[in-house]
Amino acid sequence: MNGAESLLRSLVSAGVELCVTNPGTSEMHFVAALDRVPGMRAVLGLQENVVTGAADGYGRMADKPASTLLHLGPGLANGLANLHNARRAHTPIVNVIGDHATGHRHLDAPLTSDVEAVAAPFSHWVRTSRSSRAVGRDAAEAVAVARTAPGQIASLILPADASWNEPGVPAKSRPIPDRPLPPDETIDAIARRLQKSERPALLMNGRGLREEALGLAAAIAEATGARILSDTFYSRLERGGDRATIARLPYFPEQAAAVLADVTDLVLVHTKAPVAFFAYPNRPSELASTSTKVSTLAELEEDAEGALRALAERLGIRRVEGGKHRASTVVPGKPSGELNPLTAAQAVAATLREHTIVVDEAATCGFAMLDVTAPAPAHDWLALTGGAIGMGIPVATGAALACPERRVLNLQADGSAMYSLQGLWTQASEGLDVTTVLLANRSYAILNAELERTGAAPSKEAQRLFDLGRPEIDFATLARGMGVPAVRVQDAESLARELAASYDEPGPRLIEAVL
Amino acid sequence: MNGAESLLRSLVSAGVELCVTNPGTSEMHFVAALDRVPGMRAVLGLQENVVTGAADGYGRMADKPASTLLHLGPGLANGLANLHNARRAHTPIVNVIGDHATGHRHLDAPLTSDVEAVAAPFSHWVRTSRSSRAVGRDAAEAVAVARTAPGQIASLILPADASWNEPGVPAKSRPIPDRPLPPDETIDAIARRLQKSERPALLMNGRGLREEALGLAAAIAEATGARILSDTFYSRLERGGDRATIARLPYFPEQAAAVLADVTDLVLVHTKAPVAFFAYPNRPSELASTSTKVSTLAELEEDAEGALRALAERLGIRRVEGGKHRASTVVPGKPSGELNPLTAAQAVAATLREHTIVVDEAATCGFAMLDVTAPAPAHDWLALTGGAIGMGIPVATGAALACPERRVLNLQADGSAMYSLQGLWTQASEGLDVTTVLLANRSYAILNAELERTGAAPSKEAQRLFDLGRPEIDFATLARGMGVPAVRVQDAESLARELAASYDEPGPRLIEAVL
């Protein structure tokens, strides 16, 4: 058995079942070993940001890592932006990055680069395998690192000779320690604060946004008068149906600061004190009021649900029903007339099916989406965690690979879509049940807002550079060119009708919604 | 004047006339300053690998840097692969990378990353501007670094506050030293070796592949019996018409080694001893025979043309006519029948117009292109220098921006095209005279060859992963979706006809040639 085969066997035995890839010459032995090792599904992405984004989407839904297989420094570089998003989402990912054979590196052939240096800024762990014998052990460690709470990016660099040489030695998977509970004193102290606080709030992210944790937070809120809030961006929020609702902190910092202004105690669960996404001249970047007392219930690597349960017990809450909470069940009727961000959101809400996975890269087109869809049947909501645009199509692809029995709905802004449009081909190639609503306003609209907010002068050049309408991009045509059936809709009824129709058909579908 | 304006004024005064960009919030003040500073053309790319690749194409043709404007670490990361190619092409580029305001960085907002670390592996020079006052000076230094022979990547990181704060202080451009001649002893020694060598050869790259240098090399070859060879990949080769011809070293190492096997003396001009692109089990990576004496006439930072002229004089060559050499002028007739790599090359050769800039990312579809087009009228040939696929469409875009009076012909393989297809939109948006011949063989064909060559087992999974035909990608439709007129051709006559027609029409055009 060569190093490549030992790598694959080690990954599979540690529970890694998916490899998203765009391989090259230095990865040939890994590719060939796929025939010999059962249990690994290999999926091709036509550019590496599709590959890493799909691994992110898979990890968010499967709560375990996919692997990637990337081609040297430039192949890795192409996927870094979605690794950045995955890192911010705390998604577990194992990157396998082929490199030149050990004896070839010093010759500085054209594709040579410092792969460790390329991986480092977006990885929690980087290692180059030193020999075929080390590959299996390194792979097992990479999976263990990736699965270490809260979820990490492990990048294993595989020189071609470590891949093709014998012997390879498969390694057993390593145990993953449970997330610890916070110390008793922390829970006691927060219980005391909440009991006497005038206007407390819980700010949650990470595993705090799963159904059970949300239900516990809602019970705590009811008992103490606390509000429950989420960060603006999160890996995955379980919502809808009878799940507890949670308000999202607004994107623009002055709005977020207003929401937080009168909070006396802010209790953090899997997050940190909130900060503005960008800085602006002469405005504060920290969003909590200086008079707010901030404390942390559960750090990122701790057990959020356990911490909330312990806190609820300390507060004397007897019957904690977990996720079961009454929320509004009035699903809005189907909208009619002109398509705009509000009617588009109503069309989504009126047609959303139970168990849908919503991938939200709607940007300015989607400002109404979250509120309007709150009463819809139970669904998951995946957001852009790192601000690197181009996550929507790839993450939707990966979520569909993780959950073949569920429909994925990708709410996708046009400017961001052009960053990783190639992912549509993978959806077609793998027959994935993804509906993409391409919200086309023909501009980088967020930048028009930001230009003014940064205090920069009004600018003709800016108007020109933010305009995606010269020429207009025809997304329905682009989707068809990659084998994804597509329609263009211009009114709200048509959007609702096409959404519902897409849910009844297997395979991917794109609906270009012209706003 | 704020820092951003001083930056723009410093770039323009140092001769930088083009800024290719995909800006974000942290770059708003730079964008706004474009209205106030004449002399800088700003061009939007829809993903950053288009941006950096266009800067590469521009720099190769203009022999001076374009600037990019990129959005924080992830925006830079998206463009790294084509920076890798540009670095290997020794193209001068000035990257301007926006970052969070200085006081915002430590808060670790979602888009935060270590921008210097992201830039370092693919840059010769990295600096973060410390204040608005420093920006102008830093910009002048960045241009000077980029223009330093043989051409470098300078990455200037611009915190948002250094951009928006006052005062900005524009800086004067710095003088660029001339490339020095090699020492006399070097030239003398090589002249002596060539005079007594049995089977000498010159291996050239960089400025050795411009018309004048090639003419000198041909005269030296005639006088000494030396062969003249180029590396497999180069930034820019001036060829065709009455220019001296040069043979290209083959891509596959055993073929290249065979070409070099009996060379007694190998004289290098702007290159180094040749090495295999990839390593293979049990095969040497160094291509020159161990009995070949290798010496360097002109290092990369030296004056290649001057060195060749001095060498010619040492060899007593009296009449050096520079570029004027008689080459075959038998342009092949138009081909007919089935489209394959040979007839496609014949169609290109039969229709190629004088002064065309050919951007070659044809991969396996293009193996016949270089030979068959050798007798065509004078043209330039730009190759994939760093092996990071996805350079063709962006480099063609940049070449057209540098040379608006010339037609660009992009010979583009399908797998590589999908890496940076977004560049077609920029061609449409700017009305650039680019003809793309999309050579569609529906596979990553090179990998089928490489799988066998690496000694990996034949593999069903490999066949599946290298197949771009499931589903088939319709490139003509994709081009139209981005506003580029397109046709699909299935035979050689149609390709020749459509090529000729495209040269008569302004603006971009894509011809999908189904092989």
Does A471 sit within 8 Å of B418, measured CB to CB?
Answer: no
Q: Give the Cα separation of A93 and A90 in Å (integer).
A: 9
> Is the minimum CB–CB distance between A462 and chain B shorter than 8 Å?
yes
Binary contact (A473, B481; C-beta < 8 A): yes
Which residues on B lie below 8 Å from A84 (Cβ)? 73-74, 77, 113
Instruction: Verify whether the Cβ–Cβ distance A29 to B387 is below 8 Å.
Output: no
CB contact under 8 A, A275 and B108: yes
**Among B164, B418, B473, whose Cβ lies nearest the Cβ of A47?**
B418
Start-end of H helices in A148-232: 160-164, 184-196, 211-224
Percent of chain B with pLDDT over 90: 92
A 10 A CB-CB count for A172 gives 11
The β-bridge relationship of strands B237-239 and B379-383 is antiparallel
pLDDT at A107: 97
Q: Classify the phi-psi angles of A225: left when phi > 0, otherwise alpha if psi is within -120 to 50, otherwise beta.
A: left
Q: Which of A26, A121, A164 sits opposite B73 (nearest CB)?
A: A121
Q: Is A287 left (phi over 0), alpha (psi -120 to 50) or beta?
A: alpha
Rounded to an integer, what distance in angstroms lies between the CA atom of residue B141 and that of residue B139? 5
From chain A, pick out residues whose CB is under 8 angstroms from the CB of B47: 390, 418-420
Chain B, residues 441-460, CB within 8 A of chain A, namely 446-447, 450-451, 453-460
Residue B440 has pLDDT above 90, yes or no: yes
Q: Flag if A275 and B107 touch (Cβ within 8 Å).
A: yes
Q: A35–B164: do the CB atoms touch at under 8 Å?
A: no
The pLDDT assigned to A458 comes to: 86
Strand-by-strand arrangement of the B357-361 sheet: B237-239, B379-383, B357-361, B408-413, B434-440, B509-514, B486-489
Please tell me if residue A40 touches chain B, with a CB cutoff of 8 Å: no
Mean pLDDT, residues B282-297: 96
The answer for residues whose C-beta is within 8 angstroms of residue B185's C-beta and 6 or more apart is none
Rounded Cα distance between A49 and B390, Å, is 13
Q: Can you read off the two tokens belonging to residue A210?
A: 């799963």
**Amino acid of residue B174:** R
Q: What does the alpha-carbon distance between residue B486 and residue B508 come to, in Å, rounded to a whole number?
A: 9
Minimal CA separation from A479 to chain B, in Å:
8
- Identify which has the larger pLDDT, B322 or A412: A412
User: Nearest 5°: phi and psi at A486?
Assistant: -150, 150
Structure tokens at B111: 């888009």
C-alpha separations of B49 from B19, B55, B74, B463 in Å: 14, 10, 12, 28
CATH: 3.90.1720.10, 3.50.50.60, 3.40.50.970, 3.40.640.10. Which one for B341-514? Answer: 3.40.50.970
Chain A residue numbers touching B111 (CB-CB < 8 A): 277-278, 386-388
Residue numbers of B between 475 and 504 with CB closer than 8 Å to A: 475, 477-478, 480-483
Whose tokens are 């061609």? That residue is B427
CB A244 within 8 A of CB A215: yes
Asked whether residue B232 carries a pLDDT value surpassing 80, the answer given is yes
pLDDT in tens, B79-113: 999 999 999 999 999 999 999 999 999 999 999 99
Residue B433 clears pLDDT 60, i.e. is over it: yes
Coil, strand or helix at B297: strand
Of A326-330, A426-430, B173-177, B340-344, the range with the lowest mean pLDDT is: A326-330
Residues B160, A121: C-beta atoms closer than 8 Å: no
pLDDT at residue B321 greater than cutoff 70: no
- Tell me the HSE value of B434 on the side-chain side, using a 13 A CA sphere: 34
Residue pair B246/B217 in contact (Cβ under 8 Å)? The answer is yes
Output the pLDDT for position B323: 46
Query: According to the model, what pLDDT value does residue A333 have?
Result: 85
Pull the structure tokens for residue A399: 């979520």
CATH 3.40.50.970 residue ranges of chain A are: 3-164, 341-514
Question: Residue B366's pLDDT is what?
Answer: 87
Question: Do residues B299 and B314 touch, judged by C-beta distance below 8 A?
Answer: no
The residue-averaged pLDDT of B217-222 equals 96
Per CB-CB distance under 8 Å, the chain A contacts of B109 are: 275-278, 285
Tally of CB atoms within 10 A around B198: 9
CB contact under 8 A, A459 and B77: no
Query: In which residue are the tokens 């020492």 written?
Result: B183
In this predicted structure, the answer to whether residue B338 has a pLDDT above a threshold of 70 is: yes
Is there a contact between A477 and B477 if contact means CB atoms under 8 Å apart? Answer: yes
Q: How far apart are CA B7 and CA B113, in angstroms?
A: 23
Question: Using the beta-carbon criterion (under 8 Å), do A460 and B35 form an inter-chain contact?
Answer: yes
Instruction: Provide the pLDDT for residue A72.
Output: 98
Nearest-by-Cβ selection for A456 from B28, B103, B122: B28
Interface of B with A in 87-126 (CB under 8 A): 88, 100-101, 103-104, 107-111, 113-114, 117-118, 120-122
- Per run of 10 residues, the mean pLDDT along chain A (length 515 residues) is 98 98 96 96 98 98 98 98 98 98 97 98 98 98 98 98 98 95 98 97 98 96 97 98 95 96 98 97 95 98 98 88 55 88 96 98 91 96 98 98 98 97 98 98 89 89 92 98 98 98 98 96
Per residue, the 3-state secondary structure of A74-103, as one string, reads: HHHHHCHHHHHHHHHHCCCEEEEEEECCCC
Neighbours of A410 (CB within 10 A): 32
Structure tokens given for A140: 């097992």
C-alpha span between B184 and B161 (Å, rounded): 51
On the question of pLDDT at B460 being above 60, the answer is: yes
Residues 63-92 of B with CB under 8 A from A: 73-75, 77-78, 80-81, 84-85, 88
**Cα–Cα distance list, B255 to A394, B232, B276 (Å):** 40, 11, 10
CB burial of residue B174 (10 Å; 0-12, 13-18, 19+): middle
Among candidate residues A150, A161, A234, A225, the one with its CA nearest the CA of residue A194: A225
CB contact under 8 A, B31 and A419: no
CA distance B35 to chain A (A): 6
**Cβ-Cβ contacts under 8 Å for B182 (sequence gap 6 or more):** B296, B297, B298, B299, B302, B303, B307, B310
Phi, psi (deg, nearest 5) at residue A277: -65, -50
The predicted structure's pLDDT at residue B436: 98
CA-nearest residue of chain A to B26? A278
Per the DSSP assignment, residues forming a β-bridge with B154 are B94, B125
Residue B443 above 60 pLDDT? Answer: yes
DSSP state of A158: E
Contacts of A429 in chain B (CB under 8 A): 470-471
- Under CATH, to which class is B184-314 assigned? alpha beta
Task: Give the residue from B351, B396, B381 showing the smallest Cα distance to B501.
Answer: B351
CA atoms of B27 and B25, how far apart (whole Å): 5
Cα B299 versus chain centre, distance? 19
ipTM of the complex: 0.97
pLDDT digits (tens, 9 = 90+) for B108-153: 999 999 999 999 999 999 999 999 999 999 999 999 999 999 999 9
Three-state SS at A145: helix
Task: Tell which of B48, B84, B474 to mutate to test the A interface (max A CBs under 10 Å).
Answer: B84
Helix (H) or strand (E) holding A264: none
B127 to each of A328, B145, B335, B381, how far by Cα in Å? 54, 11, 54, 33
Q: How far apart are the first and last CA of chain B?
A: 57
Residue A106 contacts by C-beta under 8 Å, 6 or more apart in sequence? none
Q: Do A390 and B474 touch (CB under 8 A)?
A: no
Is the pLDDT at B327 greater than 60, yes or no? no
Full DSSP string of B217-267: HHHHHHHH--EEEE-SS-S-EEESTTSPP-EEPPSSHHHHHHHHTT-SEEE
Q: Residue A450 and residue B104: Cβ atoms within 8 Å?
A: no
In which element (H, E) is residue B89 found?
helix B80-89
Measuring CA to CA, how many Å separate B222 from each of B201, B202, B247, B374, B424? 11, 12, 15, 19, 44
Tell me what the mean pLDDT of segment B385-399 comes to: 98
Among candidates A513, A353, A355, which has minimal Cα distance to A437? A513
In sign, the C-alpha dihedral spanning A25, A27, A29, A33 is negative
Q: Which two tokens stand for residue B225?
A: 């019996």
Q: Is B350 on the interface with A (CB under 8 A)?
A: no
Task: State the best of B12, B22, B46, B391 to mutate against chain A, taking most chain A CBs within 10 Å.
Answer: B46
- 3-class secondary structure, A510: strand
HSE-up of residue B21 (Cα within 13 Å, Cβ side): 27
Tell me the sheet residues that pair with B153: B93
Residues 220-239 of A with CB under 8 A from B: 233
CATH of range A3-164; options 3.40.50.150, 3.10.560.10, 3.30.420.40, 3.40.50.970: 3.40.50.970
B205 touches chain A (CB under 8 A): no
What strand order describes the sheet that includes A125-128?
A: A41-44, A18-21, A66-71, A93-99, A153-159, A125-128
Residue of A nearest to B457 (CA): A32
Place of tokens 């920029």: B426
> Which of B27, B465, B467 has the highest number of chain A CBs within 10 A, making it the mutation to test binding with A?
B465
CB–CB contacts below 8 A, A to B: 308
Residue of B461, B474, B483 with shortest CB distance to A35: B461
Distance from the Cα of B31 to chain A's closest Cα (Å) equals: 6
pLDDT at A323: 46
Reported as a pLDDT band with limits 50, 70 and 90, residue B325 is low
Q: CA-to-CA distance for A326 and B494, rounded, in angstroms?
A: 67
A425 and B471 within 8 Å at the Cβ level: the answer is yes
Chain A residue closest to B482 (CA)? A473
